[in-house]
Amino acid sequence: MHGGGVGPQHGDARARVVSLPGLEARWRRHVTVPGTGEDPPVTWHLLDNEPDLTGPPRGTLLAVHGNPTWSYLWRALLPAAAAQGWRVVAVDQLGMGYSERDGRLRRLGDRIADLGALTDTLGLTGPVVTVGHDWGGVVSLGWAVEHPELLAGVVVTNTAVHHDDSSHIPVLLRLAGHPTVHGWATSGTRTFLRATLALASPPLEPEVRAAYLAPYDEDRQAVADFVADIPAGPDHPSRPALDAVADGVARLTVPALVLWGPRDPVFQGRYLEDLLRRLPHADVHRFEGAGHLLTEDADVAGTVVAWLDSRFPRETPLSSETPLSAQGVATTSRGDSRVVRDSGLSPDSRVVRDSGLSRDRRGVRASGVLEDDRPRSLTAVLEDRREDDSPAVVALHPGSTETVTWRELATRVRHLALALHDSGVRPGQRVSLLITPGVDLTTALFACLRLGAVAVVADQGLGLRGMSRAIRGAGPDVVIGIERGLVGARIMAWPGRRIAATELPAPAARALGVSDTLPRLLARGAGLERAGIALPPEPDLDDDAAILFTSGSTGPAKGVRYSHRGLCGMRDTLAATYGLGPGTPFVAGFAPFALLGTALGSLAVVPDMDVTAPATLTASALADAVRAGGAAAVFTSPSALRNVLATAADLTAEQREALAGVSLFLSAGAPIPPELLARVAEVMPDADARTPYGMTEVLPVTDIGLAEIRDALADVGTVPGAGGGTCVGRPVPGTEVSIVPLDDGAATGEPTTAPGVTGEVLVAAPHLKRTYDRLWATQRASADHAGRHRTGDVGHLDARGRLWVEGRLAHVVTAPGGVITPVAVEHAAERVPGVRRAAAVGVGPAGTQQLVVVLETDPSVDRRSGSAPSLATPGLTRAVRRAVGADVGVPVSAVLRVPELPTDVRHNAKIERGRIARWAEQALAGGRMGRP
Average pLDDT (773-791) is 95
Q: Could you tell me the pLDDT band of residue 594, with boundaries at 50, 70 and 90?
A: confident
pLDDT given for residue 319 in this prediction: 52
Identify the three-state secondary structure at position 535: coil
SS3 assignment for 394-406: EEEECCEEEEEEH
* CA–centroid distance for 338 within its chain: 16
Q: What are the φ/ψ torsions at residue 726 (nearest 5 degrees)? A: -105, 120
Domains 3-337 and 579-691 share a fold: yes
* 613 confidence band (pLDDT: 50, 70, 90): confident
- Look at residue 126 in the predicted model and tell me its pLDDT: 84
Instruction: Indicate the CATH number for domain 698-766+790-807.
Output: 2.30.38
- The superfamily (CATH) of domain 3-337 is Alpha/Beta hydrolase fold, catalytic domain (3.40.50.1820)
Average pLDDT, the chain: 88
Q: Does residue 364 surpass a pLDDT of 80?
A: no
What is the C-alpha to C-alpha distance for residues 568 and 633, in angstroms, rounded to an integer?
Answer: 21
pLDDT band at 863 (very low <50, low <70, confident <90, very high): confident
Q: Which of 699, 790, 770 is nearest to 334 (CA)?
A: 770
CA triplet 389, 392, 396: central angle to 5 degrees? 120
Residues 33 and 121: beta-carbon distance below 8 Å:
yes
d(CA 558, CA 563): 16
525-567 per-position pLDDT tens digit: 999 999 999 999 999 999 999 999 987 766 788 999 999 999 9
Residue 463's pLDDT is 78
Q: Helices 135-146 & 108-122, crossing angle to 10 degrees?
A: 60
Is residue 1 over pLDDT 50? no
- Nearest 5°: phi and psi at 844? 115, 180
Q: What is the CATH number of domain 579-691?
A: 3.40.50.980
The pLDDT score that the predictor gives to residue 330 is: 38
Instruction: Give the lowest-confidence range in 320-334, 614-628, 682-696, 722-736.
Output: 320-334
- 830: part of which helix (H) or strand (E)? helix 822-830
pLDDT tens string 801-859: 999 999 999 999 999 989 999 999 999 999 999 999 999 999 999 999 999 999 999 88
Q: Enumerate the domain spans of the chain.
A: 3-337, 406-539, 579-691, 698-766+790-807, 813-924
What pLDDT is attached to residue 595?
81
Task: Render pLDDT for 709-736 as a digit per residue (tens, 0 to 9).
Answer: 999 999 999 999 999 999 999 999 999 9
Question: pLDDT, tens digit, for every residue of 386-436?
Answer: 999 999 999 999 999 999 999 999 999 999 999 999 999 999 999 999 998
State how far the Cα of 330 lies from the Cα of 336, in Å rounded to an integer: 9
Specify the pTM: 0.88
**CATH class entry, domain 813-924:** alpha beta
What's the topology of domain 406-539? Rossmann fold (3.40.50)
Cα distances from 286 to residues 242, 250, 298, 470, 476, in angstroms, run: 25, 21, 10, 11, 15
How confident is the model at residue 174, as a pLDDT? 53
